[in-house]
Amino acid sequence: MQTGNGNPTMKDVAREAGVALGTVSKVVNGIPVGEPYKEKVEAAVKKLNYRVNNYAKGLKSSQTYIIQVIVPNLVNPFFATLVHYIYRELARRGYKMLLGETDSDPEMEQESVFLAEQQKVDGIICLSYNPKLQAPEKVPLISIDRYFGARIPCVSCDNYGGGRLAAEMLVENGCRNLAFLRIGSSLTNEPNKRKDGFVNGCEGLGVPYTMKIVDDYTPYAEFEKFLQEHYHGGKLDFDGIFCVTDSLAYQIVGTLKEMKVRVPEDVQVIGFDGIRQFGDMDYFCSTIVQPVEEMAEQCVQMVLEKDAAKKPALVCLPVRYAKGGTTRV
C-alpha cells in the first residue's frame, strides 16, 4: 500500500513535532496542553500543511473530502472486498468514505444517490441494479458494473472476455460439451455479457452448449431439475459447466455431489468473481477473477477527476482465470 502520495496524517505531525499522537489530537481539538507542546505541534501542522478538520474546511471550500459509496450490502463478499479497496484508495488520497447500503432496492438506490448529493459529498461511487437510475445534478457519479449511458462513467470487469475465457478454459481442460447456468435479474446486462462471451467462445471452438437462465425469483430447485433432466445412465450430458457467479457454482457443486457426479472427474465447473474463503484463503471453485483492486482504483481516480473529458464512458478491466479445485487444471 502506497502512502507517499497521501496527505500528511496526524501521525506525521506527531513525528515532525516530536510529541505523542494524543498531544497532536488535543491541540487540533483545542484542548489545553503545555505551551511548548502547542508551539511544536502548530509548527509541524504548518510545515506539513496538515489539513485540520476537513469537515469544517469543506463548508468553506465547498469540498468535503467525503465520497459516498453505495452498494447493495456488505454481507456479499464481493461487495465487501470492493468497498475495502475503494476505502483504501480513498484513504491514500486523504478522502473519507460515507457508506450506504441499498439491499438492491431500486428506490433506495435512487434515494441514496439524491441524498448523497444533498449531503454535499465530493462524489458518488455506486453499484446499482436500477436500470433507470438518474444521475445527480451537481455531484460526479461513477457506476460500477452497470452501464447507464455515456453521461455516467462506468467501471466494470471485462465480463464478455471472462465468459469467453471460461469456455476456453473448460475446453482446454478436455471438456467437449458445455453448459451455462445463470441466475439473476433480467434487468442487468452484465450477466448477459458473460453469457454472450461464453457463447462466442463455444462457437469459436466449435463446441456444443446448453443453457439454463432464470431470474432472481426462481427457486434454486429449477437448477436441480435441469441437472436431473440432463442425467442419463449415471452420466451428465455435459462435462463442463460455466456458472454466472462463484456463489451459484458453489451450490451446483453441492448438488452434483448429492447426485454422485464427481467434480472435476466427471464434470468440471467454473464460476465467476474470484471470491476467496474467509476473504483471503482458497477460491471456492475454479473461477474467472474480477480485478477488484484495479476496479476500485479506477473508480476513485474517475470520481475525483475534474476534467470530464478524461472520464471514459466505460472502462472494462481485464479478468483472469484461477484454478480452484473444480477443474483439472
Binding residues for a second copy, rule: CB under 8 A, are 1, 9-11, 21-22, 24-26, 28-29, 31, 52-56, 59, 64, 66, 73-77, 80-81, 83-84, 87-88, 91, 96-101, 103, 107-108, 110-111, 114-115, 117-120, 134, 136-138, 246-247, 250-251, 275, 277-281, 284
Q: Which three cell numbers stand for residue 269?
A: 465447473
At 115 the three-state DSSP class reads helix
Amino acid letter, residue 289: V
| Shortest distance, position 281 Cβ to a second copy, whole Å | 7
Of 148 and 238, which CB lies nearer to a second copy in the complex structure?
148
CA 227 to each of CA 2, 41, 202: distance values in angstroms, whole numbers, following the listed order: 48, 69, 20
CB of residue 42 to a second copy, shortest distance in Å: 15
Whether 197 contacts 164, CB under 8 Å: yes
For a second copy, the closer of residues 121 and 167 by Cβ is 121
CB of 200 to a second copy, least distance (A): 28
Q: Return the SS3 of 125.
A: strand
Q: Smaller CB distance to a second copy: residue 88 or 93?
A: 88
Give the Cα separation of 95 and 61 in Å (integer). 15
Q: Specify the 3-state DSSP secondary structure of 86.
A: helix
CA-wise closest residue to 275 among 266, 267, 284: 284
Residue with Cβ nearer a second copy (8 or 210):
8
Between 167 and 300, name the residue whose CB sits nearer to a second copy: 300
Determine the Cα–Cα distance for residues 198 and 196; give it in Å rounded to an integer.
5
- Shortest separation between residue 107's beta carbon and a second copy, angstroms: 6
Shortest reach from residue 276's CB to a second copy, in Å: 9
